[in-house]
Amino acid sequence: MTDDAADRLLSDAPAPEIEVRESEVIAHGAVWDVRRDRFAFGETELVRDYVDHTGVAAVLGIDDEDRVLLLRQYRHPIGARDWEIVAGLMDVDGESALAGAQRELAEEADLAADRWDLLADVCSSPGGSTEAVRIFLARDLRPVAHDYVREGEEAEIEVRWVPLDDAVAAVLAGRLQNSTTMIAVLSAAASRAAGWSTLRPADAPWERRAAVRGERSRTRT
């Protein structure tokens, strides 16, 4: 690729030149915090508040019949039981995204997978949260035993296998509105149409998450 072609490549660009002059937690939470930063921006100083998030590992499981694994779970902030892919907070010290995804697949769906690929990386709300989501594609699925006990909202999880094309139709019709699920389903459909050639190695560096602000994400790997 020539330098000119690289310059035209559509890609987000890190901004290491932005100097954070002051950072403080203004609200501590059990799962995430709210942080306030003061930073230099050109000739001015700006103040921004944002959710300091741990990050998320997510899994789109797909079987040999092109059916995807979806879970229905109650989500209190939106007051609804929505359909989601397997996903969980990266709140275990030293745990990689892949290991977190494998753990969540077992805990939420009683499954393990022998084939893992990276499907998509997502910044869910870059204007207000450091939440970075890594979505894996899991194939060659099999049952697995574990000692995790599902509690709270997880205790009533409903599992359904849905043809990928039906999931795509539900997204486009507005019946599925969970953003991580939408991105996973549409990305999988696009990747399948390209013969899965867009998939990346499951252990690819997660540079975006490493660069986000705050402490909740910074203390995780």
131-152 tens-digit pLDDT: 999 999 999 999 988 887 777 7
**Helix (H), strand (E), coil (C) string for 95-155:** CCHHHHHHHHHHHHHCEEEEEEEEEEEEECCCCCECCEEEEEEEEEEEECCCCCCCCHHHH
Which of the four pLDDT bands, split at 50, 70 and 90, describes residue 7?
low
Does the pTM of the predicted model rise above 0.75? yes
Q: Is the pLDDT of residue 221 over 80?
A: no
Position 129, amino acid: S
How much is the pLDDT for 220?
46
pLDDT at position 163 = 98
Contacts 24+ apart (CB under 8 A), 169-172: 170/83
The structural domains of the chain, ordered by start, are 3-52 (no CATH), 56-211 (3.90.79.10)
Distance between CA atoms of residues 175 and 49, nearest Å: 32
> Residue 23's CB: how many other CB atoms inside 10 A?
14
Q: Are 55 and 39 in contact (CB under 8 A)?
A: no
β-pairing verdict for 67-75 and 80-84? antiparallel
Which value, to the nearest 10 degrees, does the dihedral of the CA atoms of residues 141, 90, 81, 160 take? 0
Q: Distance (Å, rounded) from C-alpha 166 to C-alpha 185?
A: 10
Using alpha carbons, list the distances in angstroms from residue 210 to 28, 50, 199, 219. 22, 17, 21, 10
Beta partners for residue 122, in sequence order:
133
Q: Which of left, alpha, beta for 65 (phi over 0: left; psi -120 to 50: alpha)?
A: alpha
- CB atoms under 10 Å from CB of 129, counted, come to 17
pLDDT at 189 over 70: yes
What's the CA gap between 26 and 33, in Å, rounded?
8
pLDDT attached to residue 150: 77
pLDDT tens column, 20-29: 999 999 999 9
